[in-house]
Amino acid sequence: MNTSGATATSGNGLVLRGRIVSADLDVADGIIAVAGGVINFAGPASGFPGESGPARPDRILLPGLVDLHCHGALGADFADGSAEGATAAARYLHSRGTTTLLASVVTGPPAQTLRNLEVLRQLAADGLIAGSHLEGPFLSSGQCGAHDPALLLAPDLDLLAAMMTAAGPTLASMTLAAELPGMAGVVELLTRHGVIPSLGHTAADNTVAAEFLKQAAAGLAEFAGLAGAAASMGGAGVLGSAGSAELFGLGDPAGSAPPSGRLRPTVTHLFNAMPSLHHRSPGPVSASLGAARAGEAVVELIADGVHLAPETVKLVFDLVGARNIALVTDSMAATGLQDGQYKLGPLAVTVQQGVARVDTTGAIAGGTSTLLDVVRSTVAAGIPLQDAVTAATVVPADVLGVSAHVGGLRPAMAADVLVVDPDLTLAGVLRRGKWVTQLQ
């Protein structure tokens, strides 16, 4: 039975046919076979042993996208403390192709942030998100962007410990201004627990930014080594109390590679909310590009046509390569909705022609694109599709230490598959082997 390129097989299996594009595959006529929520075949149609239906040159099959930085969608903000709203936002993003995501929390009053992290911890336990990302409160007041400067705080290890307790093992990353006094202690505490420090909303000079990234990378490497030793003796793996397979509901897939571990710090939306690169004062942009070029950090790019010029996007891909870039959305509550009045954390935001700005300052207040939109804009900027897909799938998955299970199309991985047309228009989304957007 052929249904728009999907063929039912024996039992509850599913076969998809089309061009396969992932970080390590570009197959003109490929097959992806799914059963039990995982992929059991991904490769050329000529090598598939079962019935597959006719070739579909009008279909492209991509891995489910992975977003390290998104604040909400469909009218909901992950910082408003509503489990119902956060669930609706996550499910909407799934339906638009972002099958794995971190829920980003903008700076707010500490008590509210603790409550947000507790709510998101439950969403992670329910498998809706891969964890949380704290953007604040230890940020530069001069580079606050869409954060309320009145709520920004100096580094406070007691508050950080409380936030880490509220989130438990689901806190995945935290954006930090490297130049703030006491930041080395913050980085040490985060990396000791496998939380990824992310350089951002910072006025640091090149030296301070480079040292931040170096300390973060060393701390993550030390944590990964200790966690790996513990796992080999039957203890917890790199994801804390649960291994990455359990996080994605896969048990322990036979034949899968072990999680790579959280080994690299990130840079929060490179170029945005930091000083511009200047020939006599290169600042954090220079340090970030250097670390990414060396494979020691991953830079986020909001390649939505608003936050960055297409030429800038292409320049970064040319300089550091797709394997050192994570495409992100920084999406806020207006994503999936019309222009109008919204909130980002405590700040009022107006969206006009898809561009969100803080009412009081005019600062860009996050994005309104989905990650598939960002991939499409990246390709339009002159980046090969495979490179854009790499930066939106396996790179962020690898940052999180879960690339053995999501971000690719290999046997035993989670059955997260996007079906798109040649112009990258969405036709269907499979998440964990179930249609969350029915194939058209």
Phi, psi dihedrals of residue 281, rounded to the nearest 5°: -145, 80
Residue 259 has pLDDT above 60, yes or no: no
Angle at 111 between CA 108 and CA 115, to 5 degrees: 90
Tens-digit pLDDT profile for residues 185-212: 999 999 999 999 999 999 999 999 999 9
Cis upstream peptide for 137 (omega within 30°): yes
Q: Give yes or no for residue 255 having a pLDDT over 50.
A: no
Residue 28: predicted pLDDT: 97
Q: How confident is the model at residue 430 (pLDDT cuts 50, 70, 90)?
A: very high
pLDDT range class, residue 12, cuts 50, 70, 90: low
The predicted-structure confidence for 83-131, as pLDDT tens digits, reads as follows 999 999 999 999 999 999 999 999 999 999 999 999 999 999 999 999 9
pTM of the full predicted structure? 0.93
CB 103 within 8 A of CB 120: yes
How far apart are the C-alpha atoms of 190 and 23, rounded to whole Å?
A: 30
Bigger pLDDT: 6 or 141?
141
Specify the amino acid at residue 287. Answer: A
Q: Are 365 and 349 in contact (CB under 8 A)?
A: yes
Report pLDDT digits (tens) over 402-418.
Answer: 999 999 999 999 999 99
State the chain's mean pLDDT as an integer.
91
- Whole-number pLDDT of residue 231: 63
Provide the pLDDT for residue 132.
97
In this predicted structure, the answer to whether residue 229 has a pLDDT above a threshold of 80 is no
Of all residues in the chain, the percent with pLDDT exceeding 70 is 90
Average pLDDT over every residue of 215-225: 94
The reported pLDDT for the residue numbered 368 is: 96
pLDDT band at 11 (very low <50, low <70, confident <90, very high): very low
- pLDDT class for 248, splitting at 50, 70, 90? low
Q: Using the predicted structure, report yes or no on whether residue 238 has a pLDDT greater than 50.
A: no
pLDDT at 1: 32
What does the pLDDT average to over 298-308?
A: 97
pLDDT at 80 over 80: yes
Give pairs for 247-253: CB < 8 Å, separation 24+.
247/124, 247/127, 247/130, 247/402, 247/405, 248/127, 248/402, 248/405, 248/406, 248/414, 248/432, 249/37, 249/127, 249/414, 249/432, 250/37, 250/38, 250/405, 250/412, 250/414, 253/38, 253/405, 253/412, 253/413
* pLDDT at 373 exceeding the cut of 90: yes
